[in-house]
Structure 1
Amino acid sequence: MKIYVGITDKDWYEQLKAQKPEEVNFWKPGSSNFKALEPNDMFLFKLHHPANFIVGGGFFVRFSLLPSFLAWQAFGMKNGTTSYEELQKRIKKYRSRNGINSDNAPIGCIILTEPFFFDEHDWIPVPIDWNPNIVQGKTYETTTELGNHLYCQIHERLQLCNNANFNDQKSRYAESLTMHRLGQGTFRIVVTEAYQRRCAITGEKTLPVLEAAHIKPFSENGPHDIKNGLLLRSDFHTLFDDGYITINSDFVIEVSKRLNEDYGNGKDYYRYHGSKLQSMPSSSVELPSQEYIMWHNEHCYKG
């Protein structure tokens, strides 16, 4: 297992610690990629020098380059700011400090699930090899002495802090992305990325009108699971949730005759009837589950 120790502001840490969120966005002002971790690896929060302590962490889901408006829509205050305006100010401040000129460039979003935050008496001093000149972070392997010692310290703190049982967490974070306990914001981003930022039905790629739809609604115990998601244009999302549109087990679109009966129109939607989805995940583990499709066909679709 890899552990990445990333540097962050105390304000970011304190705001999120007070929220106790189920997910967080550890964002970066620039658009450089982040390849240090694989899904399920551990990401730890270290405060800026001279506060050389690890104060919490979470489990890595994915890295995405997102426009700031989408980062705010997906995560809101779980970005570690109280408003979108504050997020914009912090982005601008760090871009200015780091010589990043573009105001419109996407921000790097390191998306973490099930974060944990330590009280000050449980803060962990950085490993002895930590260099104060590090500006972003450092990776440790649990197969090394330092990495294993750090892992054991985190393990101990989580047990002492009476957080979610760490052994249960380890068993839950298996190799598949679908094993994550995703939050609503993370669900939106992983679905958006899985469908290449295109509406599954129309191929539309204008981000502000694309929404992550649950096939089995969350209100009906449908999980925030990528296999329970479709990326849909907002009007198709509404019709899908209301049962006027569905997909079958072959990923073919069906539009109910009730749409015309109930609203006296629908020709712009009927032209998609019988067509296959235009955009689909490239990975088989991200395709819609037959179980959720069947549920929508039987309990929601007005066929």
Structure 2
Amino acid sequence: MRLFVGVTDDQWFHLLAERPSWAEVNFWRPSGLGFQALSEGELFLFKLHAPHHFIVGGGFFARALRLPLSLAWESFGEANGVRTLPEMRRRIAKYRRQPEEDLGNPDLTCLMLAEPFFLKREEWIHVPASFKPNVVVGKGYDTATEEGRWLFDAVAERLQAKPLQEVEERPATLAAVSTPRFGAPKIVRPRLGQGAFRALVTEAYERRCALTGEKTLPVLEAAHVQPYAEGGPHDVSNGLLLRSDLHRLYDQGYITVDPDDRRLLVSGRIREEFHNGRHYYALEGQALAEPHRGFMPVTRERLLYHAERVYRA
């Protein structure tokens, strides 16, 4: 397993640590550069700025995306480590050394971390000797090396001290604490939250409505195919990016997607109940777009669930 120790903004860390029950956090960078140091399920750890050379928490890496500021805020809100969008804009302007009025809607590197944890002061871990004071962004490790294994064991030991019920609800965390002292760490996909779901579905469909091709980002929403309240996961294979009006109709069962030919079906209930709907009936038979390469398409099983359990035929 690889680990990455990232240098964090102290304000970002302390704000999030005040409420340690986050399902996910966004470790964002003010640039739009990529990140390839980790794969899904590997550990991303937080190190405070000098003079505090300690690892103070972390999370399990989900994915790195380049997102506009507006989408990053809409998806994660305070899980961005700031209380308001204006505060986030001010911080980006500071890091970029750019006037705030010139920012526009800049792209950020968003490292989405699931199942985050924040260590108490007495649990902080001193960084390995190879992590030099002049490291600005971060440094990677591997459990195949002595330092990397020591670091993983130190993190696992602290996670083992957490309440069992809390750990059992977090699959990647459970895998880490269950790793034998000298055994190979098991990498498990972390449980994603609503924010990561929103961001991933938006990127999977290339910021276009999966049924109409609409590209106006503020009116696009991530819809669960099998409702989350009915066991549907926050996963791209259970999501569609839909125009906001279609999202509402989809959630309420007035439209669905045929699970076999993957085309739009529009219920006659719209006409019966609202004496209208011609714009929606004109979309009948519209083919569902496929997600961008690298993302899983919606499964037939999820589409079938919606067609049989939610759709008002």
Shared topology, TM-score over 0.5?
yes
Distance 2:247 2:220 in 1: 9
Please state whether the residue corresponding to 1:164 is helix, strand or coil: helix
Matched, 1:199 2:200: no
1:268 alignment counterpart = 279
* Aligned-pair CA distance for 1:235: 0.9
* Aligned-pair CA distance for 1:280: 3.0
Asked if the contact 1:67/1:106 (under 8 Å) is kept, the reply is yes
1:151 alignment counterpart = 152
2:181 alignment counterpart = none
Matches for 1:160-171 after TM superposition, within 5 Å: 160-162=161-163, 164=167, 168-170=174-176
Please state whether the residue corresponding to 1:71 is helix, strand or coil: helix
Distance 2:40 2:56 in 1: 21
Distance 2:187 2:246 in 1: 33
Asked if the contact 1:26/1:112 (under 8 Å) is kept, the reply is yes
Deviation digits for residues 21-68 of structure 1 (CA, Å, limit 9, x no counterpart): 010000101111111111111100000011100000000011111111
Please state whether the residue corresponding to 1:128 is helix, strand or coil: coil
- The equivalent position to 1:288 in structure 2, one of 265, 281, 298, is 298
Asked if the contact 2:115/2:173 (under 8 Å) is kept, the reply is no
1:17 alignment counterpart = 17
1:251 alignment counterpart = 262
* Aligned-pair CA distance for 1:180: 3.2
* Aligned-pair CA distance for 1:89: 1.2
Count of paired positions? 297
* Aligned-pair CA distance for 1:161: 4.0
2:182 alignment counterpart = none
Aligned residues: CA RMSD: 2.2
Letter aligned with residue 105 of structure 1:
P
Matches for 1:75-224 after TM superposition, within 5 Å: 75-96=76-97, 102-162=103-163, 164=167, 168-170=174-176, 179-224=189-234
Asked if the contact 1:5/1:43 (under 8 Å) is kept, the reply is yes
Deviation digits for residues 240-277 of structure 1 (CA, Å, limit 9, x no counterpart): 11111100113111111221222222222222212211
Please state whether the residue corresponding to 1:56 is helix, strand or coil: strand
Distance 1:134 1:5 in 2: 10
| Structure-1-length-normalised TM-score | 0.92
* Aligned-pair CA distance for 1:234: 0.5
Asked if the contact 1:215/1:229 (under 8 Å) is kept, the reply is yes
Matches for 1:232-251 after TM superposition, within 5 Å: 232-249=242-259, 250-251=261-262
Please state whether the residue corresponding to 1:139 is helix, strand or coil: strand
* Aligned-pair CA distance for 1:200: 0.6
Please state whether the residue corresponding to 1:57 is helix, strand or coil: strand
Asked if the contact 2:60/2:190 (under 8 Å) is kept, the reply is no
| Structure-2-length-normalised TM-score | 0.89
Same amino acid, percent of matched pairs:
47
* Aligned-pair CA distance for 1:175: 7.0
Deviation digits for residues 170-221 of structure 1 (CA, Å, limit 9, x no counterpart): 48x9878xx4311010111111111122111011122111100011222223
Please state whether the residue corresponding to 1:236 is helix, strand or coil: helix
Asked if the contact 1:198/1:279 (under 8 Å) is kept, the reply is no
1:44 alignment counterpart = 45
Distance 1:70 1:227 in 2: 20
* Aligned-pair CA distance for 1:3: 0.4
Distance 1:87 1:125 in 2: 29
Distance 2:281 2:191 in 1: 36
